[in-house]
Structures are given as C-alpha cells and as structure tokens.
C-alpha cells in the first residue's frame, strides 16, 4: 500500500525531523507535539546525527534517490518543548550535524488512541510513502508512556538495513513455522 505524500514533485518541504541513524536517513514524522524532537534529542545523545528539524527540504537526485537537507536558517538548531531552541553543534559537537542525507525510512509517531485496530503482529504497521515520486518505506510507531522510542527507532533502522540487504525476519519466521508444521528437519509432527 502506498500513501501519497509529496507525489511526483521534484522538490518538497516536509514537517518532521530528518536524522541519520546507523547510516540511514530517517524522517521522524507525526503531528505536532507527539515527540519527534524529544526522540531526535535522545538519538543525538546516542551518537546519531541531525540533518534538519521542523522543516526538511527534499529533492529527487539524478540517480533517483530522495535527498534531504536543512533550510540554511534552521541548520544546527533543534526546538524541544520545555527546553526551547537548542544548538546541536554546540551541545554535541559539529560531528553531530550533517548537511544532507538520502531519505531511506520514515518513522511516523502516533499518539495513543490514533489507531483503533491492532498492528499486524508479524509486520507491524508498514507501508510505502511517495516522496518526490519515489516510494520510501514507512513504519508507524505508537508512542506509549514508559517505552523507549529511541530503542524502537534504532531497531527499526537495523531491520530496514537487513530488509534492504535481502533479509526479512517475518518471512524467515513464517518459513520456520511452516517447516515445523510439515515436520522438516525432524521438528513437528
């Protein structure tokens, strides 16, 4: 299923925080106040890098990738509710900033009550979203009290890298279950 976002545009500005996590360009998206900037701050504390807060500018590169960057006036700044505007370069050092990055994944944060249906237990809530006419994988993450969104974001990025490299944990799990049911390798009846 594909969700239209910025379909067939060569350039678009999207609301969210663009951050580099384990080498992936990740847009933290969601409605205002859901916790995007707080998650970005936690990711910076874990050694990841900020590209843009609030308004990330994207354009389709000649090679087909969608590349994001920060508007110059916002570069290096992160606004966090309760703390105000922070300068990431001065707080974490200039290596915590990056000028641009290809968009590999969208993590959409959802407040409790945004969904009435439970997520797919094997695949979660995954879709592709069109950005500049290019499908970008999107994962929806529920925001709940007491959970570590940073750990979930890092796990989502590691899983996305595995998927990009050809491994799908859900497919592997289902395959093992089917082998067990059939009694392959002496497992099952």
Q: Name the residue with tokens 């082998």.
A: 179
Catalytic residues: 15, 36, 54, 121
Tell me the H-state helices in 17-168.
36-45, 88-92, 149-164
Both tokens of residue 154?
């890092």
3-state class (DSSP) for residue 2: strand
d(CA 101, CA 25): 6
d(CA 69, CA 53): 10
């Amino acid at each position: 299923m594909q969700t239209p976002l910025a379909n067939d545009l060569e350039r678009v500005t999207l609301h969210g925080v663009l951050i580099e996590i384990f080498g992936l360009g990740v847009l933290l998206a969601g409605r205002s106040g859901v916790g995007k900037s707080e998650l970005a701050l936690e990711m910076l504390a874990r050694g990841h890098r900020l590209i843009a807060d609030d308004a990330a500018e994207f354009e389709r590169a000649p090679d087909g990738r969608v590349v994001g960057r920060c508007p110059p006036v916002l570069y290096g700044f992160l606004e966090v509710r309760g703390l105000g505007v922070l300068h990431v370069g001065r707080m974490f050092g200039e290596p915590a900033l990056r000028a641009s990055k290809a968009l590999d994944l969208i993590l959409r944060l959802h407040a409790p009550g945004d969904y009435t249906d439970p997520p797919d237990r094997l695949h979660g809530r995954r879709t592709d979203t069109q950005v500049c006419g290019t499908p970008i994988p999107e994962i929806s993450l529920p925001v709940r009290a007491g959970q570590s969104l940073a750990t979930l974001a890092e796990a989502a990025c590691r899983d996305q890298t595995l998927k990009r490299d050809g491994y799908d944990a859900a497919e592997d799990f289902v395959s093992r279950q089917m082998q067990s049911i059939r009694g392959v390798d002496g497992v099952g009846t």
